[in-house]
Amino acid sequence: MDDRSRYESAARVWTAMRALVLEQEDRRREVAEATGMSFVRSKALGKLARQPLKMSELTSLLAVDKPYTTLVVDDLEKRGLVVRSVHPEDRRCKIVTITAAGREVAERAAEILGRPPERLLELAPEELALLDRVTANLAG
């Protein structure tokens, strides 16, 4: 396979993967409805479920600006899903930590996002096994 054919093949695969994940099986609305909050808020809880984060780290992981992160964390704090505290080594920084209630919401969102798309469940076992091997190699 020449370079152009390889590129075109990779582009077709990427287009199909994006369509499956972001168009046909976009679960962001379902997450928002199940959690009663915007997807970005659920995404923030998912990041915080792994570990407490500085506000600046959360801003970077969410790919939003600082004022929006503050709004998100303010709302999550009002809902009792996170707590903010002063960083022990740098009093200028705030650390955001998920609460038990926040962890429950994050787990519900993760369940929804982790559910395989119907199109994958419809694949023949050998097709699914091949796709599993290929994606495992990609995730490498």
Per-residue pLDDT tens for 37-58? 999 999 999 999 999 999 999 9
39 CB-contact burial (10 Å; exposed 0-12 / middle 13-18 / buried 19+): middle
Per-residue pLDDT tens for 82-135? 999 998 888 889 999 999 999 999 999 999 999 998 888 999 999 999 999 998
CATH code for the domain of 118: 1.10.10.10
pLDDT band at 69 (very low <50, low <70, confident <90, very high): very high
- DSSP string for 24-89: IT--HHHHHHHHTS-HHHHHHHHHHHHS-EEHHHHHHHHT--HHHHHHHHHHHHHTTSEEEEE-SS
Q: What local confidence, expressed as pLDDT, does residue 135 receive?
A: 87
Domain containing residue 45: 3-139
Number of domains in the chain: 1
Question: In terms of pTM, does the model score above 0.75?
Answer: yes
